[in-house]
Chains A and B, each alone.
Chain A
Amino acid sequence: DSGVTQTPKHLITATGQRVTLRCSPRSGDLSVYWYQQSLDQGLQFLIQYYNGEERAKGNILERFSAQQFPDLHSELNLSSLELGDSALYFCASSVQATYNEQFFGPGTRLTVL
């Protein structure tokens, strides 16, 4: 158990819908990262937050957005869902913004029908 929690574990929805994925980092970690893992593209970095502020941005679509709240939990919002958005979404946390070591949560499996 990494100490990072993600909810829900599974999510099934339809195209065009909007969903919110939630992540709670390890106690004491200020930085949160979001990743997308699909079968044909491996693990893709989406976005990083540090202490409530956006720190780094990866290949995140405009239909996706994220935020980190004062209690340091983070939410990833996915809207206008497409079939290709079906994937595992992982959250990871680290102590500092530039720290090397990330600890991953168990992931949320999103299926878009």
Chain B
Amino acid sequence: TQLLEQSPQFLSIQEGENLTVYCNSSSVFSSLQWYRQEPGEGPVLLVTVVTGGEVKKLKRLTFQFGDARKDSSLHITAAQPGDTGLYLCAGKGNFNKFYFGSGTKLNVKP
């Protein structure tokens, strides 16, 4: 099993603060995705990173794939209450299987 560990598990911050969420593994993944999930709904894809060292930006969100394709980070600048949700990373491993991290629950207070 290719495990993904996310940290922190919970994060409660004030509007306007910056934050970083980490996704780590000892396994190599061919690609890695980040999703956001709101209560009662399915995860929504934010980004896919494929190349080691790749950096992608989505407005105030910056995603980075580690050089060895074993880890990733998500950085949010000037967080807003609308960013509140469960952030999940998912790695695509051997035999086309997807492995999800346990998630980071983010709460941004106005």
Contacts and interface: CB of A to CB of B under 8 A. Distances in A.
Interface of A: 2, 4, 33, 35, 41-45, 48, 55-56, 58, 90, 92, 97-98, 100-107
Interface residues of B, number: 23
B100 A44 contact: yes
Contact of A2 (B42, B48, B88, B100): B42
Interface of B: 31, 33, 35, 40-45, 48, 50, 88, 90, 92, 95-103
B96 A43 contact: no
Contacts of A104: 35, 42-44
A106 B48 CA distance: 21
Contacts of B41: 106-107
A104 B41 CA distance: 9
A98 B35 CA distance: 18
A50 to B, nearest CB: 9
